[in-house]
Structure 1
């Protein structure tokens, strides 16, 4: 088991638990990809998570319920799907590399048609989660909207993050990311997907 030292716990539409030198699973969705019925269900789940201690098993259970609720929509390719455009997919992979400059290293990733799955490692002295992702989402939204010659919301307002509590959980997260394109019926193997891979060995 990892020794998790809390740096901060904060809430937007979702609760976010930030720890020292953590390993996180992130899902970042594009805007307008979930039906209204699911958005209402997610609000109900969020209200149940409110006030629960983030290091508790109860918090972990509610996170699992949240993720299962949206999982089938993650793979359906519904709604706004900008990453079907190769130029957008290539641009977002380049932007993931930039995160290492703020102390957030993307060690595994997959770019799906309307969302991203990431395994991210933080380091001592890394910039705050809310600051890093707010700025990153704003910068990438502007750039990608330019590529698509469109205006309006690009990303869903919030992102889902889960802290890994053990090496075995990290391994499960990696398997999920690697197998996600196959599960969604995209390439036959995840390595065939040009927008999936490992950035850990890239120069910072």
Structure 2
């Protein structure tokens, strides 16, 4: 069993034992931290997203939904995962539907470029509702600095596949 699958099984067990929303949130946050650190430091294969053509497909899809389904605040396309900060619009479908559509579209298009068939994205995702202004800025900062944290660059502005809405003034 891979490390990620092992942690996913542990997360499911701990979530079943969690009684309150706060306990569930704390467990999800802990799991996200483990997963994110592991991905940043181990760069598990596949590395499809480090290919500029593949990253461009993902980026274009994220921008396509901006103003239609959500307000796009920030994203960072890492070699093996993506960080995304959005606010869903009032009449938009649920977040899971938005993400399913995005993943379905990009999987088909990326697999064409890669000349392959099969699963492109893992089922794992972590979403978090931002409730405080300070938390929003912290998450944006975290998102854009992901390649710095992973040791890939010195300054977030050097990473080609990082986006921050100019309105935020970063």
Shifted more, 44-53 versus 131-140: the winner is 44-53
Structure 1: gaps spanning 5 or more residues: 1-34
Larger RCO (CA under 8 A, 6+ residues apart):
1
User: TM-score scaled by structure 1?
Assistant: 0.74
Query: Counterpart of 1:160 in 2: which secondary structure?
Result: coil
CA–CA separation in structure 2 for the residues paired with 1:62 and 1:44: 10
Matches within 5 A, 1:1-204: 36-50=2-16, 56-75=21-40, 76-100=42-66, 102-199=68-165
| Larger helix share, 1 or 2 | 2
User: Aligned equivalents of 2:86 and 2:16: distance in 1?
Assistant: 25
| Maintained 8 Å contact 1:84/1:113 | yes
Across the two proteins, how many residue pairs are aligned to each other? Answer: 166
Which has the larger share of strand? 1
What RMSD over aligned residues (CA atoms) do the two structures have, in Å? 2.1
Question: Is the alpha carbon distance of 1:167 and 1:179 closer, same or farther for their aligned partners in structure 2, counting shifts above 3 Å?
Answer: same
Between the aligned partners of 2:100 and 2:153, the Cα distance in structure 1 is 31
Distance 1:41 1:47 in 2: 10
- TM-score (norm: length of structure 2): 0.87
Deviation of 1:37 after TM superposition, in Å, equals 3.2
Cα distance between partner residues in 2 of 1:77 and 1:192: 19
